Amino acid sequence: MSRRTAILEEFDDETDLPLPSRPLPNTGARGAILEEIEYDLDDEREPVPPKAGPASPSQQQQFRPPPGEKNVVTDITPYKSWTCVYPIYIDAKRAYGRGERRVPRAKAVWWPLSKDIADASTRLGLQALHEVQKAHPRDWDNPGRVRIQWKKDGRLLNPRIKTKKQLLEALALHIQQVKPDNVPREPYNYSPQPAPAPTPAAPSSKGKQPLAKPRAPLTPKRTGHAQLPLPPQPEPELASRVSPYSPSLPTGMLLETVKAGMNAQEPALPGAPPGAASQKGKRKVVRVRG
């Protein structure tokens, strides 16, 4: 009887395939055993929550995503006819009219926010669209605009609100109830008037001098606008006075001096005619002929 040589192939692959937990049918090239292997691999790839050390903050605290809006609207065409309300419309620090405050100061609030307006409109049973990036041209440091639908197909959504002025007053009233510290109360504190600069005394000289006539005290000129009151002191923190999207928050300060300088005009010298500051002084030229 002849002997046949048997050739044995060695398999050096270290791959360990898990055995199926139940008998698997033959379903072709991609059978159930492949599904069993993928299922086990998916279970092994589940992320393990990292544990923070005693001296290091957790990963979630280091990388916290910015808060986003619940419902993001990309097309505002259906909301074009809604009424736009800015915080400046109910700001007690602003002047009445001139595109700024539109309600009496007693019915306004000191530090209005667009989020407060959106919440108040919801409590009134109205539909609102909060546009956090929109800002009024005269209120750049407190962005935010709310589109409110208080009338639909000629029907009032709230029977107590029949006009836009009543809408603004109702919004401000709800904010006053939520934030009673921001309610304006008389007597108001007005900014003091700057004292007039004293006139320098003329140098004394010998000889007779003409008799100086006493001048009447200078009175500040009227600009035609009433003086605005100041909010109560101390003021709240900056984060509670302006919108979270305000450009003044990254620096941590409000450039009130810059805003005041942009709105105020440079005062003229006392007793000088208008335009005298821009005129050049006279020069005396002496020419000598040889």
For the chain, strand residue ranges (E) read 83-85, 127-131, 145-149, 151-152, 155-156, 189-190, 229-230
Whether residue 108 has pLDDT greater than 90: yes
Q: How many C-beta atoms lie closer than 10 Å to residue 59's C-beta? A: 11
Q: Kindly state whether residue 259 falls inside one of the protein's structural domains.
A: no
Read off the pLDDT of residues 138-184 as tens digits, 9 standing for 90 and up: 988 899 999 999 999 889 999 999 999 999 999 999 999 999 999 98
In this structure, what CATH number is given to the domain that contains residue 82?
A: 3.30.56.30
Average pLDDT of the residues in 225-254: 78
Which residues touch 67 (CB under 8 Å, ≥6 apart)? none
Whether residue 228 has pLDDT greater than 60: yes
Q: Kindly state whether residue 31 falls inside one of the protein's structural domains.
A: no
Average pLDDT of the residues in 125-143: 91
Calculate ∠ Cα 96-122-246, nearest 5°: 55
Q: Kindly state whether residue 156 falls inside one of the protein's structural domains.
A: yes
- Are 24 and 31 in contact, with CB atoms under 8 Å apart? yes
Q: Kindly state whether residue 213 falls inside one of the protein's structural domains.
A: no
Q: Kindly state whether residue 206 falls inside one of the protein's structural domains.
A: no
258/277 Cα distance (integer angstroms): 23
Region of poorest pLDDT, from 182-186, 205-209, 219-223, 280-284: 219-223
239 band by pLDDT with thresholds 50, 70 and 90: confident
Q: Kindly state whether residue 117 falls inside one of the protein's structural domains.
A: yes
pLDDT for the residue numbered 54: 44
Three-state SS at 83: strand
Q: Domain count of the chain?
A: 1
Q: Kindly state whether residue 23 falls inside one of the protein's structural domains.
A: no
Domain that holds residue 90: 77-182
As given in the structure block, the two tokens for residue 83 are: 């009424």
pLDDT for the residue numbered 156: 92
103/73 Cα distance (integer angstroms): 30
**What residues form DSSP beta bridges with 127?**
149
Q: Kindly state whether residue 234 falls inside one of the protein's structural domains.
A: no
